Amino acid sequence: MVYDFVMDKFGVDQLFTVLYVVNLIFAAIAYKLGFAKKLPVLKSVIVYLLLAVGIFILNILFIVLPAVWASDPLPMTESLIVICIVLAVYRIRLHLQRQAKKTS
């Protein structure tokens, strides 16, 4: 769905760049919502740089493998969106439970 939308709006020329930025943003949100701990600034920079490198590699595989196998691309961006939604709901419920526990 997202792959087809990007292909229609931006074409093949900008496909990699647009999908990389979108996937990187959603991966950073998912990391921050689900896994991030309080780290010093330098360690946080290293974590996000490694996240960017990992998303770069996944994005290459996301675009190249369907062309090799002549199949539809995997729903990587859609999966990241669902992950972000689930983690956001989890964090909101956790926050509300902590507030209720604090008041009672």
Could you tell me which residues come within 8 angstroms of residue 20 by beta carbon, excluding any fewer than 6 positions away?
Answer: 55, 56, 59
d(CA 1, CA 4): 5
The pTM of this model reads 0.84
Split into its structural domains, the chain has a count of: 1
Owning domain of residue 82: 2-103
Q: What is the pLDDT along the chain (104 residues), one digit of tens a residue?
A: 777 888 788 887 888 899 999 999 999 999 999 988 888 999 999 999 999 999 999 998 888 777 777 777 778 899 999 999 999 999 999 999 999 999 87
Tokens (6 digits) for 11: 């074409």
CB 76 within 8 Å of CB 58: yes
What length does the chain have?
104
